[in-house]
Structure 1
């Protein structure tokens, strides 16, 4: 059966989410514990990237110009709810001057309501502003996927139609928050309606060329 033909019931999706949470629980806990320790030695006033595996795989030390300190606080497979729940470890403890947030693609795969994803992102922004009013926040659009058949196993149930819909809602919501800027990388990573194959190795995650391209975009905000 093709992936696009599978439609999970609410009960099935909840069961799958529970199984996935149990599977990833140990990895997530270890990552958060590592962040807690690493955050004790950070230099305040630098840059933080927060997000999921797309952020976790970002080779920031090799990509960004010398003299710019960037802390990577991405964790594979996490959702917007998990970032919000552990916002201290991901963002607040580092007291950054700038924070870039890229989150939401796993929410889609996990069947999380789109409006809840938007709310979580807004709450992350508002909580950061409340605790760190001088921190500039950049919310990055969820990246497109490549829906070609050869990438189905990685892309799974994600579609650009859904991604674009969430991005539009996020952009509208965060545009109302002071000191928050929305970055539409979705459009810039597209080619012929899909994630540009030059920038991805599996239709979902970036390859080195993709990270170089995104770094060029981010450099304009550093």
Structure 2
């Protein structure tokens, strides 16, 4: 699954046409699937970091000890503005009892002003509170990344992906998300234990490009999340 970004995808207003096409097709697929979902279940929503979380396969292959189904409505290259524009498809149509949100890393990567994406994030949470007042909402800390290991990408690809992404930026943004959680009386969770090496980078054997995790990384995340899912 190719998720690397080119120079054309570093700006929110200039996403590659192939990515825009994929986003639209995936959301259309979700619209169709939403017609048959079971209400009151668990929802994962966010960007590619959520989209490639293989939670469906984990549910099929392992006994997670859950009495609810987990639906994934992640969409690659999604920003807070994108999520805000598609909340019916990605959230409200499912009427979940729990929502786990991982959104904003692309805002950071696309260099969207912090005030703008935090305002969007806050609006997302306000709308959830308004339309799903009994739903438990969990805001996730951003995953660590690995900007130092060479994963085979060209130099310009590496520069494009990491020009505005770093563990320091993500840590600061996670603190902002934690503040939003407090303001909206929601839950902030950090489920990143076990993902980093001694230098604080995402372990190289858990990622295929430094920013997106392999299933082995998501297994660790799932183990850290399980108490919140039950």
TM-score tier, shorter chain, comes to: 0.7 to 0.9
Q: Which residue in 1 is equivalent to 2:49?
A: 54
Return the alpha-carbon distance in structure 1 between the equivalents of residues 41 and 225 of structure 2: 14
Report the number of matched residues.
Answer: 210
Asked whether 1:207 is paired with 2:202, we answer: no
Q: Which residue in 1 is equivalent to 2:190?
A: 184
Q: Which residue in 1 is equivalent to 2:162?
A: 156
Contact 1:199 1:207 in 2 (8 A): yes
Q: Which residue in 1 is equivalent to 2:38?
A: 43
Q: Which runs of 4+ in 1 moved over 4 A?
A: 12-16
1:115 to partner: Cα distance: 2.3
1:68 to partner: Cα distance: 3.2
Deviations 1:102-136 (A, max 9, x none): 01111122111122222222221111111010100
> Which of the numbers 198, 201, 205 marks the counterpart of 1:194?
201
Contact 2:45 2:90 in 1 (8 A): yes
Of Structure 1 and Structure 2, which has the larger fraction of its residues in helix?
1
Return the alpha-carbon distance in structure 1 between the equivalents of residues 194 and 179 of structure 2: 19
So what's the TM-score if we normalise by structure 1? 0.86
1:22 to partner: Cα distance: 4.1
1:196 to partner: Cα distance: 2.3
Contact 1:13 1:111 in 2 (8 A): no
Deviations 1:44-95 (A, max 9, x none): 0000000111111111122242643010101111111101110111111100
Return the alpha-carbon distance in structure 2 between the equivalents of residues 119 and 144 of structure 1: 23
1:23 to partner: Cα distance: 4.3
1:149 to partner: Cα distance: 4.3
SS of residue in 1 equivalent to 2:15 = helix
So what's the TM-score if we normalise by structure 2? 0.83
Q: Which residue in 1 is equivalent to 2:58?
A: 63
Q: Which residue in 2 is equivalent to 1:110?
A: 110
Deviations 1:127-168 (A, max 9, x none): 111101010000001111111141474642211111111111
Go from structure 1 to structure 2 and tell me whether the alpha carbon gap of 1:16 and 1:112 turns closer, same or farther (over 3 Å shift): closer
Return the alpha-carbon distance in structure 1 between the equivalents of residues 201 and 41 of structure 2: 33
